[in-house]
Each structure stands twice: as structure tokens, then as C-alpha cells.
A and B are shown apart, each in its own frame.
Chain A
């Protein structure tokens, strides 16, 4: 029996009533991929160091042993080539999972992933789909330097034809990855190197989380915090701090940027009259800006203040730990934004 999690208010999945286990984020992704590969022989994984090295970040650990070298494939350092090759294979009907060791490296493969995968169905008049998943580490925080710390959702969200998924916890990572693999369209699955070791509870048994369904992580009355990916966790931390000041935040985890679950956000803002969007990409022309514009449009008469936004600072990512932590959309910035938005500054 497959359970479906739909818009649950769960921080503890045990609230769903079934047994749960605590696992790491990387385990959740591996479990999802492995379950789907057992189920459907068309699914295979390729990328740098995914097989014999057991994965540069150990996400695919043990998968070579289970599935063999025909289905867990080490590629040379050749993102443009192997991304294009995988897209060709998807056009033929296979269901590849392509790992970018870092989404920063996807820039080298920008032409195939942006010009071929999302456009094939449209250009061919519906004849050729592209059921492919690209996944990898996205975001800054590990002192990896400016070329290895991209938040590609800031670039790729703009493109029609792509689905962008960005989980914030292991339970979501697993359910969303299974959906991504079964989805017949190209999916960009954005993980976070910083979160790979984070633990979280995961329901037992098989479950999938549909795209376009946000989760209300924390209910509140005074301010809506809308976010996705790792920053959701910063929002929850901020909410705890603000609660002590008497500001009650509602935290919404969008889970997928495209498709975007706008109705959940709108419903929340109509209740709280106050919105803060937290997006780890740079602010100019970002998905955070898009969500803010949408909130202004749909909640115009319900806003007590303009929609505040918290982003990473508009600079290349610095190496220094102190500077990098300041650069991120951190808890302090979120608190300041909420206080300003609620006129409690």
C-alpha cells in the first residue's frame, strides 16, 4: 500500500500514525533511487564517481554492488557530453538519473539541460519526452569557494519545461525523489551538501510526495515565512526565536519551485497579512522575487506591509567562514526581516 503525503503539517512524520525510522538525508536519496531501480529496469544512474568510489558524497554507496556496472555508471569528467547522452537515452525511453557532483558543474552542460531536455517535447510536437532526473549538491555554506557554491535555481527556474525540486529534510527527499524518477518530464533535483548528513524521520513503507504541494511546517498567526530547501530549517530556527518575542510565524516549505504551490502561500498570507520569502539564491531575478511578486498580486488587499525577502548577499560566495555565514540567508537576517515586516523592529 502506498501512502500519499498531501500537505501535511508534519515536522514529526510520526504524526501520520505509522512507524518511522531516523535516517540521514543521503540515505533517503539512496533509498529512493534504489527502490525505483528495483521496480523499473529502465532506471539507471550515471555520473562522476557514482560507482566504484561509492559516490563522491556517498549518496550512491553500495548501489554498484546491488545493480552492477551496467546500471550504475562511472562517467569521465564530461558534463556536457554525459548530460546530452543521458537526454538522448531518455528520448529513446530510458529513465536516467544523472548526478552532477555539484550543480555548479551543470553550467558546463547548460546547453543540453536547458536547450534539449525541456524543449524536446514542445519542438517535436509531443513526440519525444524526456523522463530524466538531474540531481546534485546545490547551495553554499561549506567554504567551497565561489565557483562551487551555486544555487542554480536562481538561473534555471526561469525556463519553461523544467520541474525544480528542492527538499528540506530526509522524508521529503525520499518521497520527492521517487516522484521525480517516475515523472515523465525533466526534473532538476537540488540537494544540499550541507544537509547530506542531517538526520530526520522517514515513514516506513513506500510513499511518494507529489510535486506542487507545499507543507506547512509550523502554523502561526502573525507572519508567513515561505521558503524551500535548506533555508526552511533556518526559518524554523528563526520562528523559535521570534516566538519568544511574541511573534508567531507560519513556516511554509514549498518543496518544489516549479510547479509552485501558490494557493497554500496565498491562503496563509490572507490569514497573517504579512509575508517574508526566504530564498538562498541571489536576489536579482530569483524565484524568491517571483514568489514575492505573485504574493503582491494575489494578496494585494491583504498585506499589511510589502513582502520582505531574504536572500544570499549579492556577491560571489566568499571562502572565509565568517564571511560566508554572513552571506547566507541566515537566522539573524530572517528574524530581522520578520520584525521589520510585522512592524516590531
Chain B
């Protein structure tokens, strides 16, 4: 059997080699150990020995051609074999030299045109080696693993638990407290933490980082904005929202308001349209308790107090954003009281900021963009409410009354509702009640 001499692996990193020079010709006799060729490898030029006695039957590769390690480059006829026949038979294995482009002598070198991979940004852990506190960029809600597990096991909504650990982290004893309270009151509590706590606990916006490469600037999110972002995403993604809109004739309310304000001018009270709306919504709860309720997983919790939240927008200089001030027991407060409180809340919000008390325990929320001229919009429910009323501007427009076309002032109000608690028919009925109150505003005074 003739022997195939293959391109040998002459260094541990060699992948291919080039015959620089053959030291034998076809027909030459060789003994084991004879150097048959000089081979250029990735590291150096080395001698290639053969390991058997015989005669060179064929040289299959030209000098200068680079071939892969293992390629047959010559044939050796053993004693008793016919050189010509062996040559004619050719290489059985390995095939003809798989010639790589002759130019590059260093097969293992990486081609230069491959761009270096972009360096991975140094993470905080590397630059801050040794430091154990990272206050920015934490999880969306800080909860220790055991606290989370305990809350789950005991059916406590972790979002309702106040965290007393560093950065607002909810820890074991907070959940233990919540469990205790739960069993004491046997209800999902509306804990203060439900309010828009303006803590600096890092909040992660759920959207992916922008992939745009347009020119621009980055504005950091304030704590308020982060909280808004978090809560409203939660709301929109967990509550099945739908909207119902109704138009209200505002003429009589506007007139009534005007006459009251004249009388109350001396006492410094100035009623706003919103004050009437607050009272109207509050009174309507009596007949529509489901609008004063919260979804609680396997049941609906109907609240016994009516706390109307009023959306207050903050000036951009104060960081902008939106807070909800709460007028508690709104159904037991007069228009005058509601007005004073609403103004106080708005003032406080715009100056020193609302307290947790001011912002907690709303059972229903009203948002009014009428002062900006907006006619219609929809709002996002403020959890754990079941509904929110979005009021537009009272606008003079042609209306049909008693079959005649007259000028009237109309306002559109849109309810956003949690379909798990309130059906469309219920919504319509509530709006109908509201309509009665608003279009006959004297009823709000009693």
C-alpha cells in the first residue's frame, strides 16, 4: 500500500502550511527520517521528515501553495510497489490540495478588516469595586426576597406595603406588619404607600431604551415622574379600561355659580365649576356604590367613605407632573367647604407640596382639562379606584332644545371605568345621575 505523505502539524497552533522547497524529486529513494521538504508554518520554517523507507512516487503540491494540515502532498511507494502505478492512482484520501489564497502566509492571523467588537460599557460593579451601595438604577420596587415570598404566601398585595428598609425597600418586618393588619382588619388595606409617594427609590420605566440616533438631549426623570410612570403603567396594564362619554348642559350651573360667587365674594369663597362636579360625583355615589369601590382579586370592596381625588397639575418649574389631592368625605361637605379645600390643596401642591395624608385614600378621581380649552379626553384610572371622570371645557355651541336650535353651553365628560367592577349599563346610569345633579344644580346645594 503506498503511503500518503500529508501536510504535518509542526506546531500546536498550526492550521495550514506552505511547501517552500521540495528536497526530493519523483523517483528518489528515501529512508525513514529523511527530510523531504521545508515547510513554512505559522511560527517558523521547519523540516518535514518522512517516516518510512520507499521511493517518492508523486509530488502533489507546488512550492508556494498553502494547504491545510492533513492534505496529502506526496505519495510514497513502498518496497515492491510500482512508482508509476502509484502516481497514476493518485491520492485516495484528502483529495487535491485545497489551496488557500497564496498571498497570506499566516493562516491563523485574523483578517484585518474585521472590526473590533464595540467595547462593552464598564458596568457599575466594575468601576465601583468594593463598594456595596448602589443607589441609582435599582429594581422597580424594592422588596427583599423573603418579604416577597411571605407576601405571596399570605395573600398580601406587596404594592400596598410600606417599605421601611433602605431606599424604601420592603422587608420582612413590613410584611409581617401587613399580615398582622390584614388579619386584624381582614381586608386589603389602602395603605399610605398607595399614594404617589415621591420617594427617590429608583423606578424602572418598562420600555426598552431608545434605539434612535437623532440629535437631542436627555432629561432625567424626577421622582414624581418616575412614580407616575410606574403607577400609570400598572394601571393601564392591569385594569381593563373602557370609556363612556356624556354631554351635559351647563347653563344653569354656570348661572348658579355666578350668583353664588357674587354673594360669597365677601367671605373670600370663589366656587369653581369643578367644585360643583366634585359634589355631584360624590352625591351620585349614594345610588351607585360600585363607583366608590376597589377591585380586590376575588371580591369588590365597596368603601364606606367617599373621598374624591382631584387631579392637580404642577408647574414645570416645580418639576411638573400631576398629583391627586383628596377631598375626604366629599359627600358630607358643602360646596363652600369643597371649594376651600380644593383651593388649599392646589395651593399647597404648588408650593410646599402635598403630604402623604393629602394624597391618600381617594375612592374616585376627577380630572379637569377644561381650563385649557380641551373639550374631550380620556383619563387613566388612579388605582385602586374603579373609575375616573375626565371633564372637558364648557363650550358655547349650537344645541337643540324643544326642537329649536339655540345657543347652549355644553360640557363633555368621559368616564374611564374598570370593567371588572363596573359594566357599561352601570356607567350609563351613573352618568345619568350626574346629569341630573349637574343640569339641576340646586340639588347640589342640599
Contacts and interface: CB of A to CB of B under 8 A. Distances in A.
Interface of A: 273, 283, 300-306, 314, 343
Interface centre among A300, A301, A306 (most CB of B within 10 A): A301
B165 interface: yes
Interface string B125-147: 00000101000000000001111
A304 B130 contact: no
Contacts of A300: 145
A77 to B, nearest CB: 37
Contact of B145 (A301, A314, A343): A301
Interface string B142-173: 00111111000000000000001100000111
B130 A273 contact: no
A74 B274 CA distance: 98
A343 B173 contact: yes
A305 B130 contact: no
6 nearest A-B pairs in the assembled complex, by CB-CB distance: A304-B172, A304-B144, A273-B146, A301-B145, A304-B146, A301-B149
Given A314-B130, A343-B165, A304 B171 contact: yes
Contact of B171 (A283, A302, A305, A314): A305
Contacts of A305: 144, 165, 171
Contacts of B148: 301
Given A314-B130, A343-B171, A343-B173, A303 B165 contact: no
Interface size class of B (residues with CB under 8 A): 10 to 19
20 contacts: A273-B172, A283-B130, A300-B145, A301-B145, A301-B146, A301-B148, A301-B149, A302-B146, A302-B149, A303-B144, A303-B145, A304-B144, A304-B146, A304-B172, A305-B144, A305-B165, A305-B171, A314-B130, A343-B171, A343-B173
Contacts of B165: 305, 343
Nearest to B172: A304
A302 B145 CA distance: 6
Interface centre among B149, B172, B173 (most CB of A within 10 A): B172
A308 to B, nearest CB: 9
Contacts of A314: 130
B353 to A, nearest CB: 28
A263 to B, nearest CB: 19
A314 B173 CA distance: 34
A303 B143 CA distance: 10
Interface centre among B132, B146, B172 (most CB of A within 10 A): B146
A284 to B, nearest CB: 8
Interface centre among B132, B145, B147, B171 (most CB of A within 10 A): B145
Nearest to A303: B145
Contacts of B147: 304
A306 B138 CA distance: 14
Contacts of A304: 144-147, 171-172
A146 B165 CA distance: 39
Contacts of B130: 283, 314
Given A314-B130, A343-B165, A303 B146 contact: yes
A312 to B, nearest CB: 14
Contacts of B145: 300-304
Interface centre among A283, A301, A302, A304 (most CB of B within 10 A): A304
Contacts of A301: 145-146, 148-149
B142 to A, nearest CB: 11
A303 to B, nearest CB: 5
Given A301-B149, A305-B165, A343-B171, 7 more contacts: A273-B146, A273-B172, A301-B146, A303-B146, A304-B172, A305-B144, A306-B132
Contacts of A283: 130
A343 B173 CA distance: 10
Interface in B405-429: none
A314 B172 CA distance: 32
Nearest to A283: B130
A303 B147 CA distance: 8
A273 B147 CA distance: 10
Contacts of B146: 273, 301-304
A235 B21 CA distance: 75
Nearest to B147: A304
Contacts of A273: 146, 172
A343 B144 CA distance: 12
Contacts of A303: 144-146
A293 B408 CA distance: 72
B171 to A, nearest CB: 5
Interface in B367-422: none
Contacts of B171: 304-305, 343
A301 B147 CA distance: 9
Interface in B170-200: 171-173
Interface string B284-326: 0000000000000000000000000000000000000000000
A306 B147 CA distance: 13
A246 to B, nearest CB: 13
A12 B173 CA distance: 35
A283 B132 CA distance: 12
Contacts of A306: 132
A343 B149 CA distance: 19
A224 to B, nearest CB: 13
Contacts of A343: 164-165, 171, 173
A64 B149 CA distance: 62
A273 B150 CA distance: 12
A290 B150 CA distance: 27
A299 B197 CA distance: 31
Nearest to A273: B146
A310 to B, nearest CB: 12
B343 to A, nearest CB: 42
Nearest to B166: A343
A273 B145 CA distance: 9
Nearest to A302: B146
Contacts of B173: 343
B444 to A, nearest CB: 50
A56 B148 CA distance: 56
B178 to A, nearest CB: 15
Nearest to A306: B132
Nearest to A305: B144
